[in-house]
Amino acid sequence: MALNIEWTSEAEEQLDNIIKYLEANFTDKEIRDFFSKLETGIEIISRKPLQQKRSTRKTETHEYQVSPQTTLFYSFDNTTATILVLWSNRMNPDKLK
């Protein structure tokens, strides 16, 4: 059975910022490609949350690389996977909570 997906407010805000950045700097096709990769990742997380590697920063957190520029961090329990952060891989990792 697939897990429910929830987003933290921080992850939602980061997604909004990514959308604004993509709309300002990329074509519609590139934006669709990004969202296709994001949707695929969320589906994988929902169905097989243990398949992705554990974060080296927090062992209860897993990560999924959406694109070379973006990593999605999540945690999960028996019923729900929670998207914690959509992280730009170009940012300083010391700022990652």
- pLDDT tens digits for range 21-70: 999 999 999 999 999 999 999 999 999 999 998 988 788 899 999 999 99
For residues 67-85, give the mean pLDDT: 95
Burial 26-53 (b: 16+ CB within 10 A, else e): eeeeeeeebeebbeebbeebbeebeebe
- The pLDDT, as a whole number, for residue 55 is 85
Strands (E), the chain: 4-7, 62-67, 70-76, 80-88
Domains of the chain: 4-89 (3.30.2310.20)
Q: Which of 86, 82, 92, 95 is nearest to 15 (CA)?
A: 86
- Fill in the amino acid letter for 47: R
pTM (predicted TM-score)? 0.87
